[in-house]
Amino acid sequence: AGTRPPEARSAAVRTPPDFVCPNERCVTRNEAYLAPRFVSIAGHEEVLQCAYCDGEVLRP
């Protein structure tokens, strides 16, 4: 997982309700009121990036 430049990010992506960020330190893993949010990465549509911590995961 790494931080990509903002211009590489694109629109938010809908994921299944049980889809979570793989980063155990991500705020969405510890704060129940925050729903996980992911964005797709331009040029790497199979990879999603957490909108909070930039953790990366393969699209479900």
Residue 44 neighbours by CB distance under 10 Å: 13
At 38, give phi and psi (nearest 5°).
Answer: -130, 150
Query: Residue written as tokens 């980063």?
Result: 23
**How far is 52 from 28, CA to CA, in rounded Å?**
8
pLDDT given at position 41: 86
**How far is 55 from 33, CA to CA, in rounded Å?**
19
pLDDT given at position 33: 93
The full set of domain ranges for the chain reads 6-58
Query: Residue written as tokens 């990509």?
Result: 4
pLDDT given at position 2: 59
- Residues 7-60 have pLDDT tens digits of 566 788 999 988 999 999 999 999 999 999 999 988 888 999 999 999 999 988
